[in-house]
Chains A and B, each alone.
Chain A
């Protein structure tokens, strides 16, 4: 089982350009999440989706958008990239979102550099 895949693995992007980070899971999990990880900071939630067709804003949603057309895919789009969006982006999923025991499983990450 692949679990969660992310693409691309890494990317260098010019400021002002748009980009979509892809995330696909094959575990039939209902909930999916996008985090960014920056040196010295904890993982910060960008957007989440509790089930297909619904999305919500996390702690740092500005400059990012998401969609959840089906269970498996949860793409993250940067409409006009800025250097402060340079980070490592992790996609995660969990079976549900409303149970205290829900464990999140992470994809391998996308390293994005905005110049």
Chain B
């Protein structure tokens, strides 16, 4: 079966750095996506990785290791507005997105 694992919830402090991990087992791999979803709102696209390594986009970076079936999202200089759920999704061999349940990130002052 196909499986995406993420921690259910994480807590971090404003101004700090947090790393959200995602491990996956899917039938084929055609890219990995991270989305942000604020409570009661739609998911919004954050980042995309298809090759191994780190992709940096401002305060957010995403890392991929295809051999380990592993990715992480790194958020720096945390702000209160970063409180949200972060969804990991993998595009499988049929080009469908398989979604993790999401990690709820709580930022404390």
Query: Could you tell me which A residues sit within 8 Å of B by CB distance?
Result: 40-45, 48, 58, 90, 97-109
Contact present for A45 and B101 (CB under 8 Å): no
Q: Is there contact, CB below 8 Å, between B95 and A97?
A: yes
Q: Please, which residues of chain A bring their CB within 8 A of the CB of B50?
A: 100-101
Q: How far is the CB of B20 from chain A (nearest CB, A)?
A: 15
Instruction: Give bound CA distance, A43 to B4, whole Å.
Output: 11
CB-defined A-B contacts under 8 Å, sample of 14: A41-B101, A42-B87, A42-B99, A42-B101, A43-B87, A43-B89, A90-B43, A100-B30, A101-B48, A101-B50, A102-B91, A104-B97, A105-B45, A108-B42
**A59 closest partner in B (C-beta):** B96
Check if B96 sits within 8 Å of A106, measured CB to CB. Answer: no
**B101 closest partner in A (C-beta):** A42
Residues on the B chain within 8 Å of A99, using CB:
95
Set of chain A residues within 8 Å of B31, measured between Cβ atoms: 100-101
CB neighbours of A48 from chain B (8 A): 96
The listed residue with most A CB atoms (<10 A of its CB), out of B45, B87, B95, B96, is B95
A21 to chain B, nearest CB (A): 14
In the assembled complex, how far is the CB of residue A56 from the closest CB belonging to chain B, in whole angstroms?
9
CB-CB contacts of B20-64 with A at 8 A, as 1s and 0s? 000000000011010000000111110010100000000000000
Set A41, A97, A106: member contacting B43, Cβ < 8 A: A106
Contact at B4–A107, with CB atoms within 8 Å?
no
- Chain A residues lying within 8 Å of B99, measured Cβ to Cβ, are 42-44
C-alpha gap A90/B100 in the complex (Å): 16
In Å, the complex CA distance between A103 and B50 comes to 13
Assuming the contacts A42-B100, A42-B102, asked whether A98 and B95 have C-beta atoms less than 8 A apart, the reply is yes
In the complex with contacts A42-B87, A100-B31, A101-B50, A106-B100 CB distance below 8 A: no
Among B44, B50, B97, B100, residue most surrounded by chain A Cβ atoms (within 10 Å): B97
Bound Cα distance from A100 to B90, whole angstroms: 10
Contacts A58-B96, A103-B48: A43 and B33 contacting too (C-beta < 8 A)? no
Inter-subunit contact A106/B42 (CB<8 Å): yes
